[in-house]
Chain A
C-alpha cells in the first residue's frame, strides 16, 4: 500500500478490481464503509462475480478474468479523450514530457526488439533521448510526437469502449458509466483509491495489471494524496515483512539485489548501481545504495566483512538465472536437479499450480523438512488418502521431517501490515508439547551445520563459520536482539562529517535512521528501510499511542511505518508545484517557505525547494513514469494479452498466446488446454469464513464452510445438466476434482468477441487434514506458468470442463 487502511476514510471513490475486500479483508473494508457514510464516497466493484464487495457497491460491472489491462487502458483513453486529466500533476510530476529514443516502436502486440525463440526482448531502445548535457530530453509543450504523452495516446488508441466490451465482456454502457465516475477524480479536490489483491497479481501479466492502474492514478493526480494511492491488500499477516526482508532468490533486505555471476566483483556490481539523476537537482535516493549494501554485509558477516575483502562480497551467492523462484524450484525437483527442500509455514502441495506435478516433484526429493504449527498436506504428501491424495507410499523415497512450531499466540516480534506498519506483539501462552519457535529451530540447524563443517571440513564453509551471530544465547536468539540488528547500529563511533569533533552515534549504539548509514563499514543494518524501528530510545514498533490529530488517519505515534515512519508514500505529491495542498481540506504536508511539514513525515528532503526537486525521489527522474523504460520484461507500456488458457483468441494480436515473454518450461508445453476441449473460464478465490488452508483446522470455521464447492451460473448448470447442490466433476488438462455445485445468479455468462463465455468459480480451502470435510481444490487444475516479471502463478484465469457426476469415490 502506498497509503494505509485508516487512510481509506479520506477517499471520494473506491475502486475494487482484482480483489474482494469485503470478503477477504473484512475489518479493513470497514474504512470503505466509513468513507461512504462520512464523506459520501462511492464504491465501484469490477469483478467476474457479483461478490460480497459488489453487494454493497454503488456500481458494479462484470469483467472476464484476465482482461483487466484492456479495461484499464480503456479508462485511460476515456480520460485523455475527454480531457479528464489533472494537468498540473501530469506535467509536473510524471514523465509525460520526456522524449523517447528513436527506434522504439510498438505494433501488433509487440514492442521493438522481440526474439520469439528466446521469448525475450532486447530492451535497448526502450528509453529516453539523452541530451548533450547528459540529462533526458523533455518537451514541456507536449507537442513532440515522440514524447511519452503522445506515444501513450497512440498506444492506447485501440482500447475504445467497443473494444473493451469485445475483450472484457463488460457491456459498453456499464464501462462508460464507470469511466465517467472515475474521470471525475481528475480534479485536484476529488480522490480515488485502488484496492486490489491477488485478483490482479495471479496472472501471466500481473505486474502490468497493477501498472495500468498506477498510470491511471497518476493521470488523475491520485498518488501521494490522502484517500488515494495504489493499495495492495496483502494476503498474509507478514507477507509485507518477508518481502521487505528479501526472502526471495534474488533479493537482499530492503529491495537490494543478489549479484549475478556477470558481476564478478564488488566494483562491477556497484558500478551499475550509480543511479545518476536523469534531470537536474533530483534526489535519486538510490544513489545511497552502497551505504545500504555495505551496512547489510556488516550485519551478516561482522568483522569478517572488511574494506579489504570488499565486505565479504565473495560470500554472497552469484545467480546464473534471473531467479530460482518456486516454479523453477519445483521444475528442478521434477527434473531430478534438486534433492532437498524446506517448507517453513507453507503448504505448497495445495498452494502451487498443477498439483500432480508438485506431488511428482516432492516424491523425487531425498529430504523434505516442514516446520509448521499445524498438520499440512505437504508434510503428508506421501500418505495415501484415496481420491484426496492418491499416492503409493512405498514407492516414495523422500525422508520427511515434520517439526512443530509456535503459533502467533506464543511468539514475540513484529509483523508488517499492508500499510507498512511494523507492529510488535507479545506471547500470551506457552507452546504446546515440544513445539519450538522458528528462531530456535533455525539457530539449531545453523549451529549443527556449522559444527559439522568445523569438525569435518567441507566445501566453502567460510560464509557459514564467519556468519555474525552476536546473540547472548547462540542457540536461542531473542526477538529483541534480532529487531535491533534489523534497525542497525554503529560498528565504530560515528562523527559529524562537517565537524569531526562531534560524535553523532557512539560505537555499539543503535542508529536513529537510515540517513546515518555509511558505506565504509562503520555501520551495520540488516534491513535499511526498517532503520528507525528500534533506536536508542527503544522499540518504536511497540508504540501504542492511538491519537490522531485532526482525524487524518495517520496515527504517527502508533507502531512504526517504513520508511522513516512515513504513512503515505510520495506525500510531497499531495501539494502543487509551489507546495500548497491540492485540496485544502485534505492537507498532508506543505512547503512553508523554508521546509516541508504537516501531518506526515515528508517524503522528500525537508528543505528541498518545491520547484526544483521532484516528488518521486527514488526515481532518477524525480518524477513518476507513465513509460517505464526497460524496467519490465514485457513492455514499457502495458498491452492486453490473453491468459495462456483463454476462451477466445487475442483480438488485438491473434497470433500471440498468453504473455509473449512469460517463461514456459519445455516439460509444461503440452500441459496447456484449449477452448475446444475446455470451454469454460475458471478462476480461484477464497471465502470470508476461511483463511487459505489454515482454518480448515479451526472447528468454528470448518463448521461455517465445511465442504468444497464450485460456483456456476444457472445458464451453465442448465447447459451441462448440473443440479443445484448436486455433485459435479471439474477437470482441466492437468487434473480433475469432484465438487458440490452452487448454482447462482451471482455469476452471469458474458459475451466476449461475440461468443458466450461461462465462468466457473473455484474456492480453495480444502484438503485432507483438519476439521473440515476432505476436498480437492483449484490447484489440482491450475497451469504451471507465472507472471513474466515475477513468476506469480496464473491462478486466476484458466480453462476447465464440467459435467454432472456422482461425487468422490471416498468422502
Chain B
C-alpha cells in the first residue's frame, strides 16, 4: 500500500515517461518498472498547438488544435481541439458544435479523391486531378464559346457569360474568396453568388 501511494506521488511529480526510465535508480523492482512502462504518456505531450477559428457561425470562436506529426513532411494529424482561453469573444468556451469539431475533421464522409459521375450513370468513378481539371476547363470553354455575349442588341460591349454560374461558399477564407472572385470575373460570368443570399 505504501508503495502504491509513493509511486502515485512520484509519477505525479515527474511524469510517466521519465518515471519509467528512472525507476530502477530509485530501487523499484523490475515488475513495478514494467507496470509503469505500460502506462501511457500524456496525450498532449509532444503535440503542436495551432490557433484556428471555429468554421461554423460568425461568433468565430478561437480554437486551439493539437496535432501530432509534421506539417512540412505531410504527417500532421489533429488529435485534440479546445476553445482558446485567450480569445476575447469566447474566452475558451465552445458550443455543442464547436466542442465536437474533431469529429468533423475526421468525419467518415470527408472526400478523399476527385470523382466524376458520367451522364446517365448511377455511380461516381475516381479520376485523377489532371483529368478532373481538364474535363472541367473543357466544359467551360465549350459553353463559354457557344454562349458568351460580346455585344447586346444595341451594339454595346457587354462581355457577359450567362450560361454557367458559380455559387461560392461562406466558410472559405477571404483569400480563397478573392482568388475565386478574380477567376470567375475574368471569364465574364454573371450568375455569381454566395451563401449571404440565403
Q: In this assembly, does A792 line the interface, its C-beta being within 8 Å of a C-beta of chain B?
A: yes
**A253 to B104 Cα, complex, angstroms:** 31
Task: Report whether B50 and A467 are in contact in the complex, using a CB–CB cutoff of 8 Å.
Answer: no
Binary contact track B73-114/A, C-beta < 8 Å → 1, others 0: 011111001000011111101111111110111011111111
Contact, CB under 8 Å: A202 / B198: yes
State how many angstroms separate the Cβ of A707 from the closest Cβ of chain B: 16
Contact status B97-A691, CB under 8 Å = yes
Please name all residues of chain B whose beta carbon is closer than 8 Å to the beta carbon of A317 when the two chains form the complex. Answer: 158-161, 185, 188-190
Chain B, residues 176-194, CB within 8 Å of chain A (1/0): the string is: 1111111111111111111
Taking a contact as CB atoms under 8 Å apart, the answer to whether B167 and A27 are in contact is: no
Residues on the A chain within 8 Å of B4, using CB: none
The answer on a CB contact under 8 Å between B100 and A700 is yes
Q: Specify which of B108, B123, B163, B189 lies most central, judged by the most chain A CB atoms within 10 Å of its CB.
A: B163
User: How distant is the Cα of A429 from the Cα of B58 in the complex, in angstroms?
Assistant: 23
Residue from B50, B94, B122, B173 with most neighbouring chain A CB atoms (10 Å): B173
Cβ contact within 8 Å between A345 and B178: no
Q: How far is the CA of A435 from the CA of B129 in the complex (A)?
A: 10
A688 sits at the interface (CB 8 A):
yes
CB of A742 within 8 Å of the partner chain: no
Determine whether the beta carbon of B59 is less than 8 Å from that of A324: no
A346–B179 CB distance below 8 A:
no
A324 B116 Cβ-Cβ under 8 A: no
Residue A337 is within 8 A (CB to CB) of chain B in the complex: yes
A6 within 8 A of B: yes
Partner of B195, one of A236, A375, A413: A236
Instruction: Note all chain B residues with C-beta closer than 8 A to A429.
Output: 65, 67, 69, 71, 76-78, 105
Complex contact A27–B90 (CB within 8 A): yes
Q: Once the chains bind, are A402 and B97 in contact (CB under 8 Å)?
A: no
Interface residue? B137 (CB, 8 A):
yes
A87 at the interface (CB under 8 A from B): no
Q: Which of A62-70, A76-84, A393-401, A621-629 contacts B (4 or more CB under 8 A)?
A: A393-401
Please determine whether A416 and B88 come into contact, CB atoms closer than 8 angstroms. Answer: no
Which chain A residues border B156 with CB–CB below 8 Å?
Answer: 261, 264, 318
Q: How far is the CA of A793 from the CA of B198 in the complex (A)?
A: 6
B158 CB to nearest A CB, Å: 4
Known interface pairs A346-B195, A429-B105; A448-B67 also in contact (CB < 8 Å): no
Decide if A248 touches B175 in the complex (CB within 8 Å): no
Within 8 A of B (CB), among A377-419: 382-384, 393-405, 407-409, 411-418
Does B133 touch A at the CB level, under 8 Å? yes
Given contacts A26-B95, A445-B133, contact A482 B175 (CB under 8 A): yes
1/0 per residue A335-369: CB within 8 Å of B? 00111111111101001100000000000001101
Does B174 contact A241, Cβ atoms closer than 8 Å? yes
CB neighbours (8 Å) of B119 from chain A are: 396-399
**Which single residue of chain A is at the shortest CB-CB distance from B132?**
A401
0/1 interface trace, chain B 57-71, chain A, CB 8 Å (1 if under)? 111111001110101
Interface residues of A in 450-464 (CB under 8 A from B): 451-453, 456, 458-460, 463-464
Whether A332 is near chain B, meaning CB under 8 Å from some CB there, is: yes
- Contact present for A340 and B137 (CB under 8 Å): no
Question: Does B118 belong to the interface (CB within 8 Å)?
Answer: yes
Of A420-428, A509-517, A572-580, which binds chain B? Answer: A420-428
- Tell whether, in the assembled complex, residue B160 and residue A318 are in contact, meaning their CB atoms are under 8 Å apart: yes
Within 8 A of B (CB), among A121-158: none
Determine if A695 and B175 form an interchain contact, defined as CB atoms under 8 angstroms apart.
Answer: no
Decide yes or no whether A769 CB sits under 8 A from chain B: yes
B178: chain A residues within 8 A (beta carbon): 245, 253, 482, 485-486, 526-527
Stretch at the interface among B15-23, B24-32, B33-41, B147-155: B147-155
Binary per-residue interface labels of chain B (117-154) against chain A in the complex, 1 for a CB within 8 Å, 0 otherwise? 11111111000010011111111110111011010101
With contacts A239-B58, A242-B177, A248-B196 taken as known, whether A344 is within 8 angstroms of B168 at the C-beta atoms is yes
Majority secondary structure, B binding face = mixed
| B114 with A402: CB separation less than 8 A | yes
Pairwise interchain contact A345-B97, C-beta atoms closer than 8 A: no
B107 contacts across to A, CB distance below 8 A: 374, 697-699, 770-771
| A482-B172 Cα distance, complex, nearest whole Å | 13
| Distance between A313 CB and nearest chain B CB, rounded to angstroms | 9
B53 lies within 8 A of A408 (CB): yes
Is residue B157 within 8 Å, beta carbon to beta carbon, of the partner chain? Answer: yes
| Cα–Cα distance between A400 and B71 once the two chains are bound (Å) | 32
Query: A residues within 8 A CB of B104?
Result: 407, 694-695, 697-698
Chain B: which residue is nearest A555 at the CB level? B88
A373: interface (CB < 8 Å): yes
CA distance A689 to B99 in the complex (A): 10
Whether the Cβ atoms of A253 and B170 lie closer than 8 Å is no
Q: Which residue of B lies closest to A704 (CB)?
A: B96
Inter-chain CA distance A400–B127, complex, in Å, is 12
Given the interface contacts A401-B115, A428-B78, does A247 sit within 8 Å of B93 by beta carbon? no
Point out the residues of chain A lying under 8 angstroms from B175, CB to CB. 412-414, 439, 477, 479, 482-483, 486
A332 touches B196 (CB 8 A): no
Interface centre among A332, A398, A422, A430 (most CB of B within 10 A): A430
Q: How far is the CA of A43 from the CA of B140 in the complex (A)?
A: 52
Q: Is the CB of A324 within 8 A of B191?
A: yes
Q: Are B174 and A422 in contact (CB under 8 A)?
A: yes
- Give the residue of B86, B96, B129, B172 whose beta carbon is less than 8 angstroms from that of A436: B129
Cβ of B51 within 8 Å of any chain A Cβ, yes or no, is: yes
Known: A242-B195, A695-B97. A442 touches B180 (CB 8 A): yes
Could you tell me the distance in whole angstroms from the C-beta of A248 to the nearest C-beta in chain B? 6
Contact between chains at A375 and B133 (CB < 8 Å): no
A478 to B71, CA, bound (A): 16
Which residue of B54, B89, B167, B174 contacts A416 across the interface (Cβ within 8 Å)?
B174
Instruction: Report whether A237 and B152 are in contact in the complex, using a CB–CB cutoff of 8 Å.
Output: no
Q: Which residues of B contact A397 (CB under 8 A)?
A: 119-120
A544 within 8 Å of B (CB atoms): yes
Knowing A340-B143, A426-B51, the reply to whether A791 touches B197 (Cβ < 8 A) is yes
Contact A261 B71 (CB under 8 A): no
Task: Give the chain A neighbours of B55 by CB distance below 8 A.
Answer: 237, 407-408, 415
* Given contact pairs A372-B111, A700-B100, A399 touches B52 in the complex (Cβ within 8 A): no
Q: How far is the CB of A160 from chain B (nearest CB, A)?
A: 35
The reply on A316 being an interface residue by CB < 8 A is: yes
Q: Does B169 contact A (CB under 8 A)?
A: yes
A243 touches B109 (CB 8 A): no
Q: Verify A792–B174 contact, CB threshold 8 A.
A: no
Give Cα A408–Cα B171 distance, bound, in whole angstroms.
8
Residues of A within 8 A of B157 (CB): 264, 314, 318
Closest to A381 in B: B117
Residue of A nearest to B62 (CB): A423
- In contact, A344 and B166 (Cβ under 8 angstroms): yes
Instruction: Tell me, yes or no, whether A438 is within 8 Å of chain B by CB.
Output: yes
Chain A residues whose C-beta falls within 8 Å of the C-beta of B181 in the assembled complex: 245-247, 253
Contact B167 A344 (CB under 8 A): yes
Q: Please tell me if the beta carbons of A770 and B109 are within 8 angstroms of each other in the complex.
A: yes
A790 within 8 A of B: yes
List B contacts of A428 (CB < 8 A).
Answer: 48, 50, 52, 65-67, 71, 76, 78
CB-based contact A418/B60 at 8 Å: yes
- Contact partners of B46 in chain A: CB under 8 A: none
Q: Which of B58, B65, B113, B195 has the most CB of A within 10 A?
A: B58
Instruction: Pick from B99, B139, B167 the residue with the most CB of A within 10 Å.
Output: B167
Whether A324 contacts B165 by the Cβ 8 Å rule is yes
Given pairs A247-B180, A428-B52, A690-B97, 15 additional interface contacts (CB within 8 A): A27-B89, A247-B181, A314-B157, A315-B159, A341-B164, A395-B120, A408-B52, A408-B55, A427-B71, A429-B77, A442-B179, A445-B137, A459-B150, A482-B178, A546-B87
Top 6 nearest A-B pairs (CB, nearest first) are: A413-B173, A433-B112, A345-B169, A404-B111, A340-B164, A417-B60
Interface residues of B (CB under 8 A from A): 48, 50-62, 65-67, 69, 71, 74-78, 81, 86-91, 93-101, 103-105, 107-124, 129, 132-141, 143-145, 147-148, 150, 152, 154, 156-198
What are 7 A-B contacts with C-beta separation under 8 Å?
A27-B93, A239-B58, A300-B186, A345-B171, A408-B171, A415-B55, A415-B60
